[in-house]
Amino acid sequence: MVRSTGRIPLAVGAAAMAVAAVTGCSSGSGSIYGLPTAAAADATSPAATPSASAGTGPAAAPTLPVSGEPAFGTPGSTPTGPPPPTGIELSAFLPTAAILPAGWTIKGDGSEHDTGTAINGYRADPPQIKEPCNQMRLAGTIFSQGYNVSGAMNEVYDGEHAVQVYLGAYRPGDAAQLLTDLRAYAERCKTFTGKSVDGAPIPMTVTLRPVPGLGDEAFDMRRVPTGPYRTSEIVVTRIGDKALFLSGDDILGRLPNLMQLAVPLAKTVK
């Protein structure tokens, strides 16, 4: 296992190798809670095989036995209870071969990293509150920033497609507040215009749908370009004062089935 006591890389695997095609990156070159805010744009890249059915995975997402919409949490103002877990403690909840669905694998240690034993004491607003829409990147290392006090991540494969798994810890109420902020971000950026590598405009659409019955609250968010470019997806699940982020893209022709992974993995986070 490889651990870092400072920073977690913003991108791993296929996402790190994708050619950026929408200008802009995240919110600066500094770091928040020991996590870098940006290095390279996670932008819309041409998919290897554009698909009219992008967004479907190799298997149908499971039906969750619930009714109605999830009740979104209300952040608290006074920290109470035990201290939040460290990055090393969070790493115990990352995917292992024993809990992965059939067909999913981990290569080596999945490039696992965590924030070590430190708990970051600085509480900054998430960059998505003010970030321009054309800098949108759907990744847990980006979406977790702000209120995050510790984190751990690795990468898994559904046979060929890489999925980044990020688990962040927060002080009481902050994880719920973060999901509220991210929903507002998706609403504000429902449509915007990005740019291809040659400067051509690319109309972008952002969708967000709640996922009832997953954790305490959850949503699926997608950034979909017009044309043969890369669609990105992230499933965000809050479990108490932790947030689980699963993200991937269709650069190889289809999106990975994030819900197939989210259901069993969310059950292991305590």
Q: How far is CA 205 from CA 118, 178, 179, 208, 221, in A?
A: 38, 22, 20, 10, 11
Tell me whether residue 67 is in a domain.
Answer: no
- Please report the pLDDT score of residue 81 as a whole number: 67
What CATH number corresponds to the domain at position 193? 3.40.1000.70
- Please report the pLDDT score of residue 199 as a whole number: 86
Tell me whether residue 63 is in a domain.
Answer: no
Instruction: Give the domain range for residue 156.
Output: 13-48+76-268
* Residue owning tokens 């790190």: 16
Rounded to the nearest angstrom, the gap between the alpha carbon of residue 80 and the centroid of all alpha carbons in its chain is 27
- Asked if 257 contacts 234 with a C-beta cutoff of 8 angstroms, the reply is no
- Asked if 243 contacts 219 with a C-beta cutoff of 8 angstroms, the reply is no
What is the number of domains present in the chain?
Answer: 1
- Please report the pLDDT score of residue 197 as a whole number: 85
Tell me whether residue 228 is in a domain.
Answer: yes
Tell me whether residue 56 is in a domain.
Answer: no
pTM (predicted TM-score): 0.72
Tell me whether residue 39 is in a domain.
Answer: yes
- Please report the pLDDT score of residue 196 as a whole number: 85
Tell me whether residue 65 is in a domain.
Answer: no
- Please report the pLDDT score of residue 52 as a whole number: 37
Interatomic CA distance for residues 112 and 133, integer angstroms: 29
- Please report the pLDDT score of residue 39 as a whole number: 32
Tell me whether residue 64 is in a domain.
Answer: no
- Please report the pLDDT score of residue 32 as a whole number: 30
- Please report the pLDDT score of residue 80 as a whole number: 56
Tell me whether residue 34 is in a domain.
Answer: yes
Interatomic CA distance for residues 123 and 98, integer angstroms: 35
Per-residue pLDDT of the chain in tens (270 residues, 90 and over written 9): 434 433 343 333 333 333 333 333 333 333 333 333 333 334 444 443 343 333 444 444 443 333 333 333 344 444 556 889 999 999 999 999 888 999 999 988 889 999 999 999 888 899 999 999 999 999 999 999 989 999 999 999 998 889 999 999 999 999 999 999 999 999 999 999 988 888 889 999 999 999 999 999 999 999 999 998 999 999 999 999 999 999 999 988 899 999 999 999 999 998
